[in-house]
A and B are shown apart, each in its own frame.
Chain A
Amino acid sequence: MSPAALTRRARLPRGEGAWAWLAAGSVALSLLLLGGLLTLIAVRGLAHFWPASVSLVELDDGQVFAGRAVRELPLPAADGASGGRERLYFTGNRDLDGHVWQWVEVDRIVESDRPRELVVMERLRHGDFIGRLVDVRPAGQTGARTAAGGEAAWAALQARLAAVDALRGERDDLQHGVIQPLVRRLEKDPGDGAAQRRLAETNERVRGLQESMRRDVVVLESADGRRLLLTLDEVLRAWRPNAMPLPEKIGAWSRGVWRFLSEGPRAANTAGGVWPAIFGTVLMVMLMSLLVTPFGVLAAVYLNEVAHQGRLTNWVRIAVRNLAGVPSIVYGVFGLGVFVYGIGGSLDEWFFSDELPSPTFGTGGLLWASLTLALLTLPVVIVATEEGLVRIPDHQREGALALGATRLEMLTRVVLPMAVPAMLTGVILAVARAAGEVAPLMLVGVAKLAPQVPVDGEFPFLHLDRKFMHLGYHVYDTAFHGDDIQAAMPVVYATALLLVLVVVVLNLTAIFLRHYFRARHGALSRH
C-alpha cells in the first residue's frame, strides 16, 4: 500500500467517511450562513453611504425624471411570454411628486444618461432632492432666469453651504450649552433674574443666527423643469455624484459613515446618525456588567464554596441553570412590575414627590433596563463562575489553609484570583446575550427618540432615570414604524451592522482582559 493511501485511510477510516463528511458539511454550512448574513448586512449597510450616480431617464411617453437605480426585477409574465424587466428608481423630491420611488419597465426607457450637472441635495424636510441647480441668491431678490447648472452657481452654493454649516454649529452649541441648562435652572428656580436675562439674550442671538442662515435662497429645477425655491438653512449638503471622481466619492462615503456614527437621528429615525443609540447600548451593557458581575460571583462562591453540598444546593443549582432559559420578555414584564412600578414608584413617592404626577424613577429608564438585563444574564455569570471554581484543585485551597489563612482569606487571595478568567467568560457570555436583547428593553426604558445621551456635564453626570436609545430597538423601530420603510431599509442594515460590531468590540475587550489575567497567572497548562 502506498504511503498516500495510508494517510488517506488514517484521515477517513472506513465507514466513518460519511460521518466526517456530514460533520464537516454542517460546519461549512454554518460558516457559510454566518458569512452570508454578515456580508449581506455589511454590503447593504455600507452601500447606504456611497454617493451613487444619478441617471436622467426619458421614457417613451415623453416623461423625464432623474433618479438613482436601486434594483431590477423580472416582470411577471402576463400570458406565458417573457415579460421583460422592471427597474426601481429612487427619485427623491417628495414635496414635488408626493413619492420618492418609481418603478419603470426597462423596455419603455428611450434614453438614459448621467449628466454631470445633476445635483443631489440632503434637506432638513421632505428628504433628498434630485435635479439641477439654477441659482443661489439673497432672499427677496428676483434674479434673471439663468440657465440651469452653471459652475459659478455650484461654487457659490458650496461656499454658502459651508457658511450656513458654521452658523448651524454655533446655534446648536448655544442651544445645548447655554439655553438648555438655563431652562432647567429656571424650572427649579423660576425667580432667577440673572438666568432669565441671559436666556433672553441667548435666544436673541439664536434668532439672529437663524436669520443669517435664511438670508440666501437656492433655486432648483427638477428634471422635468419644475422650479423650487429653498432657503439655504433647509439644505444640509449638496453633491454632484456624476461629476465626482472616485477618491472624492470615497471621501464623501467616509464622511457619511462618520456622520452616521457621530450624529443624532433626524426625520423620524430614517436619516441622520445613530450616536445616541450606540452610546445608550454600550452604556447600558457596561452598567449591566457592573451590576451582574458582583452578584453572580457572590452567588457562585456561595453555591460552590460556602453552602452545604446537599440536595437543596443542587436544586438551587438546577433552578439557576433553568433561569437561563426563561424567555427574555418575561424578564421585561418582571422588570416593569417590580423595578419600574414597584421600586421606582416608591422612590418617586419618597424622594421626588414634588415632581409627581410626572414620574422620575417610576418610568422606564437606564437603571431599570440595566437591572433587568443584569437579572436576565445572572444565571450565565453564576454558571460560568461556578465552573471555574470547580476547576480549581482542592490542594490550592488546602495549601492556603495550611499556611494559616482563614476561609475568607483563602477565598479572596487564592480562589477568586484564580477564578477571574472564568468570571470574565461569564461576563463575555452575558454581554453577548444582553447587547442583542430588545424585547425586555421595550418595557423598561428604551426610547424611540432620546437624542440626549444619559451622560452630560450636569450633576449627577450619569442620569440613570433617563430613557435611552438602543441599536437593537432602533433597528426594530426604523424597520417597522416609519412612513417610508423602503427608504429606511439602508439605515436598518447599517444599524444592524453597527450592532454586530458593538457586540464584537465588547466581546473582544472582555476576551482580551481574560487573556491578560490568564497570562498573569503564568504557565497554567502545567496543572
Chain B
Amino acid sequence: MPELPLSQPSQRSDASRLESGRPNSAGPIIDFAPDVSCLDVEGLSLAYGGKPALRDLTLRVPRHRVTAFIGPSGCGKSTLLRALNRLHDLNEAVSRQGSIRLEGQEIHAPEVAVDELRRRVGMVFQAPNPFPMSIYENVAFGLRLQGGLTRRRMNDIVEWALEAAALWDEVKDRLRASAWSLSIGQQQRLVIARTLAVRPEVLLLDEPASALDPISTLKIEELIRSLKSQLTLVLVTHNMQQAARVSDYTAFLHDGELVEYAPTASLFTNPRLARTENYITGRMA
C-alpha cells in the first residue's frame, strides 16, 4: 500500500488558505457531500459539568467508508465518537444539545433502546478489554445477550467473526483458553471479533492501535480496510500516517469544533486551512 504523500508546508499563498488562528466563526470547511450518509450529526454540543467539549458540530459519516477523526489531545474527537453510541449516558455530568441520526433515525429518541443502539453501533477501545472468560465466550458474549441461537449457529458465527477479525487461524485450537492469555495485539483483534459477532452497522474505533506494536498495528489497519465493504467505520487516531493509510475521509477537530472535513487525500495534500496544515505537519501539538 503506497503511502499517501503528506503535504509539505509551502509558502505559496492560496486564495482558499485562511489565516492561522482565525476564529471558526465562518463555520467549518466541508469539502464533500456524501450521497449515502450513515450517521448525521447536527448541531451537536456536549459539555462535561458545564465545561464545553463539543461546540455545535455538524458532520455526516458516509456509509461503508472509513472516516477518521484527527486532532490534538482534548479536541473532542473521542468525545464525539462516544456520543455516537451514547456511552455518555453513563456520566450524569454530561449535558448534550443537538441531534445524531443513524440511518435517518434520531438515536436520542425516547423509543430507541440504548442497548439495541449500541449493538448496531459497536465500539472498540484504546486498550484491549477482553472479558475474563475464554476466547470463545468473549466472542459469544454479545450473541448470548440476544439469545435464541442454537449451539451450531453460535459456533458458526463465532468462527465467522474470528475469521473476519483475522484471528481464527491463531486461536482455533484453543478457543477454551482464557482471552487474557493472548498477546495484546491478538486481544485487540479478539475485541474486534467480539464486536463483529453481533453484526453492527457501524464500528467505532477509539485509537485501536495506540497500545500495539508496529506489526499488530499493521494487522489492525489491514483489518479496518477489509471491513469497510461490510460496515461503516469511524476511526479516532493520533497517528496521521494511520489516518492517511486507512481512511477515505478525514475530519480535523480542534477545541471541540470541526475545522475541516474532506476526502483524506485532499485534506492531507491540500489542506484549505492553515490550522489544519499546521497540525498535520506537526507544528501544533
Contact = CB atoms under 8 A, between A and B. Distances in A.
B169 interface: no
B118 A402 contact: yes
Interface in A388-413: 393, 395-406, 409, 413
Contacts of B198: 403-404
B107 to A, nearest CB: 14
Contact of B129 (A308, A398, A405, A413): A398
A395 B129 contact: yes
A311 interface: no
B178 A400 contact: no
Given A403-B145, A403-B194, A522 B180 contact: yes
Interface bin, chain B: 20 to 34
Contacts of A521: 132, 178, 180
A308 B92 CA distance: 8
Interface in B89-145: 90, 92, 115-116, 118-119, 122-123, 125, 127, 129-132, 141-142, 145
B162 interface: no
A145 interface: no
Contact of B146 (A404, A413, A414): A404
A453 interface: no
Nearest to B142: A403
A404 B181 CA distance: 25
Given A308-B92, A413-B141, A523-B180, A402 B123 contact: yes
Contact of B125 (A308, A398, A405): A398
Contacts of A417: 132
B180 A527 contact: yes
Contacts, number: 76
A409 B145 contact: yes
A402 B81 CA distance: 12
Contacts of B90: 397-398, 401
Nearest to A522: B178
Contact of A418 (B119, B127, B132, B179): B132
Given A409-B145, A522-B179, A524-B180, A403 B92 contact: no
B191 interface: yes
A109 to B, nearest CB: 73
Interface bin, chain A: 20 to 34
Contacts of B218: none
Given A308-B92, A404-B145, A399 B181 contact: no
Given A395-B127, A414-B131, A524-B132, A402 B180 contact: no
Nearest to A308: B92
Contacts of A393: 129
A401 B87 contact: yes
B205 to A, nearest CB: 11
Interface in B66-104: 85, 87, 90, 92
B129 A396 contact: yes
A141 to B, nearest CB: 79
Contacts of A226: none
30 contacts: A393-B129, A396-B129, A398-B90, A398-B123, A398-B125, A399-B129, A399-B191, A400-B141, A401-B115, A402-B118, A403-B118, A403-B141, A403-B195, A404-B116, A404-B119, A404-B142, A404-B145, A405-B141, A406-B115, A409-B145, A414-B131, A521-B132, A521-B178, A521-B180, A522-B132, A522-B180, A523-B178, A523-B180, A524-B180, A527-B180
Given A403-B195, A404-B118, A405-B145, 16 more contacts: A399-B125, A401-B90, A402-B85, A403-B118, A403-B122, A403-B145, A403-B198, A404-B115, A404-B142, A405-B115, A405-B141, A413-B145, A521-B180, A522-B132, A522-B178, A524-B132
Interface of B: 85, 87, 90, 92, 115-116, 118-119, 122-123, 125, 127, 129-132, 141-142, 145-146, 177-181, 191, 194-195, 198
* Leading 4 A-B pairs by shortest Cβ distance: A522-B178, A404-B119, A403-B142, A402-B123
